[in-house]
Amino acid sequence: MRYVMVIEKLESNYSAYVPDLPGCVATGATLGEIEQQIKEAIAFHLDGLREEGLPIPEPTTLCEYVEAC
């Protein structure tokens, strides 16, 4: 499955979250670190859902860029 992650640049690091997995978040000092951290967070989140016998959400969020005038 491929989930959309949203990355936000903060003052001194990056923050990321996965809209289709509420509560699945990560932080990192670099873009490379945030990508690794969010992959680990997704795996941890999905493992937790499986252990609880809860359904795994299907990825539904779409990501598109728009030009602003």
The pLDDT of 9-26, averaged and rounded, is 96
User: Taking 90 as the threshold, does the pLDDT of residue 1 lie above it?
Assistant: no
Q: Domain containing 49 — which CATH number?
A: 3.30.160.250
26-69: pLDDT as tens digits: 999 999 999 999 999 999 999 999 999 999 999 999 999 999 98
Q: Are 57 and 21 in contact (CB under 8 A)?
A: yes
Q: Are 45 and 21 in contact (CB under 8 A)?
A: yes
Domains contained in the chain, number:
1
pTM above 0.85, yes or no: yes
Residues spanned by the domain of 17 = 1-69
Q: Phi, psi (5° rounding) for residue 28? A: -165, 160
> DSSP string spanning 7-65?
EEE-SSSEEEE-TTSTT-EEEESSHHHHHHHHHHHHHHHHHHHHHTTPPPPPP------
